[in-house]
Amino acid sequence: MTGLSVRQLRVVFDGFVAVDGVDLDVPSGDVRFIIGPNGAGKTTLIDAITGLAKAGGSVTFDGQELLGRKVHRIARLGVGRTFQNSTVFEELTVLQNLDIAAGWSRGPLTLLRRRTSVPPEVQHALETIRLTAARDQLAGTLPHGQKQWLEIGMLLVQNARLFLLDEPVAGMSHEERDATGQLLGELSRDHTVVVIEHDMDFLRRFARTVTVMHAGRILSEGTVAEVQADPRVQEVYLGHAMEAGNA
C-alpha cells in the first residue's frame, strides 16, 4: 500500500516503554494530526520512523521497510521531518539552507563548484514558503515562525513525500499559524503530512484525521469530531487541555 504503515512498533529506553505496540496507517495525501499528553510517545514515534530511535516492529512507507536503515537512507526514501526546536543552519542564508536540502543526490563535480543560479525547485520552494524576499538573509536572523517555514521548505526541495512535522506552530503568532495552516493545505495536495500538535484550535481548523496517543499506545483515531466525542479522549487529553487552557 502507499503511504505510511506502522505495525506493532515498540521503543524501549532503559526499560521504559516509550512506544508500546503502535499500529498506525496514514494513507497518501492525508493530513494526520497526532495528539496526546506530554510523554505519550508522539515524538518518539517520529524518532523511530526516521531512524533516530531504535525500535522493534515494522514501519513501511510506500512499501519500503524503514526500520533498520540509517537516518540518511530513510531520508533518501522520501521521509522528511522537522524538530520542535527549529534546526536550520543559522550561519547560512535561506538560499544556502534550501540548496543544501535539495542536494543529497548531487555528484562530486557539482558539489565542488559554486552555485551559479538558483535551482528551479529551490525558487519554487521559496515562493511556497513565502520567503523569496528573505532569500539572502542568514537563517539565524529569521523570526521563529519563518524558521519553521524554512524547515518545511527544506523538506519540499529534499523531495520528501512524507512530512513529519513536530509541533510546527508552537510559539507562532495567530497570523503565522493561519499562514502555516494554509501551507499545510497546499502541501497535502501532493504529500502525506503527519503533524504532532498541542494547539487544539489549530487542530480543529486544519486536521483531516486525528490519532490520539496516550502512554505509548493509540487511544483513539478518526475525524476531529469523532475523536472529540470519544469519552476516553476527553478524559485523558481534551479534559486536561481545556482545564489547562482555562486556568
Partner 1 sequence: MTMIQDAPITSNSSAAKAPRRFQALIGFGLAAVVLFGVAPVVLGDFRLSLLAKYLCMAIVAVGIGLAWGRGGMLTLGQGVFFGLGGYAMAMHLKLADAEPGQLPDFMQLYGQLDALPWWWKPFANPAFALAATVLLPMLVALLLGLLIFRRRVRGAYFAILSQALCAALAIFLIGQQGTTGGTNGLTDIQGFFGYDLNDPLNRRTVYFVVAAALLAVLGVAWQLMRSRYGELLVAVRDGEERVRFLGYDPANVKLVAYVVAAGMAGLAGALFVPAVGIISPALIGVVPSIEFVIGVAVGGRASLVGPALGAIAVAWARTALSERLPSAWTYFEGLLFILPVVFLPGGLASLAGFLRRRRAPEEVPA
Q: What is the CA radius of gyration of the chain?
A: 18
Rule CB under 8 A: say whether 189 interacts with partner 1: no
Rule CB under 8 A: say whether 143 interacts with partner 1: no
Rule CB under 8 A: say whether 182 interacts with partner 1: no
Rule CB under 8 A: say whether 130 interacts with partner 1: yes
Number of residues that bind partner 1 (CB under 8 A): 39
Closer of 52 and 238 to partner 1 (Cβ):
52
Rule CB under 8 A: say whether 123 interacts with partner 1: no
Angle of helix 94-101 versus helix 120-128 axis, rounded to 10: 120
Closer of 131 and 236 to partner 1 (Cβ):
131
Rule CB under 8 A: say whether 174 interacts with partner 1: no
- Nearest distance in Å: CB 40, partner 1: 23
Q: Looking at 106, 144, 205, 240, which residue binds partner 1 (CB under 8 A)?
A: 106
Residue by residue, what is the 3-state secondary structure of the chain?
CCCEEEEEEEEEECCEEEEEEEEEEECCCCEEEEECCCCCCHHHHHHHHCCCCCCEEEEEECCEECCCCCHHHHHHCCEEECCCCCCCCCCCEHHHHHHHHCCCCCCHHHHCCCCCCCCHHHHHHHHHCCCHHHCCCEHHHCCHHHHHHHHHHHHHHCCCCEEEEECCCCCCCHHHHHHHHHHHHHHCCCCEEEEECCCHHHHHHHCCEEEEEECCEEEEEECHHHHHHCHHHHHHHHHHHHHHHHC
- Nearest distance in Å: CB 154, partner 1: 7
Q: Single out the segment in contact with partner 1 by CB under 8 A; choices: 27-35, 105-113, 224-232, 234-242.
A: 105-113
- Nearest distance in Å: CB 162, partner 1: 12
Judging by DSSP bridges, how do beta strands 162-166 and 56-61 pair with one another? Answer: unpaired
Write the binding mask 5 to 44 for partner 1: x where contact by CB under 8 A, - elsewhere: ----------------------------------------
Q: Looking at 81, 161, 177, 191, which residue binds partner 1 (CB under 8 A)?
A: 81
Rule CB under 8 A: say whether 136 interacts with partner 1: yes
**Which residues contribute to the site for partner 1 (CB under 8 A)?**
50, 70-72, 75-76, 80-81, 83, 87, 89-92, 96-97, 99-101, 103-106, 110-115, 130, 132-133, 135-138, 141, 154, 158
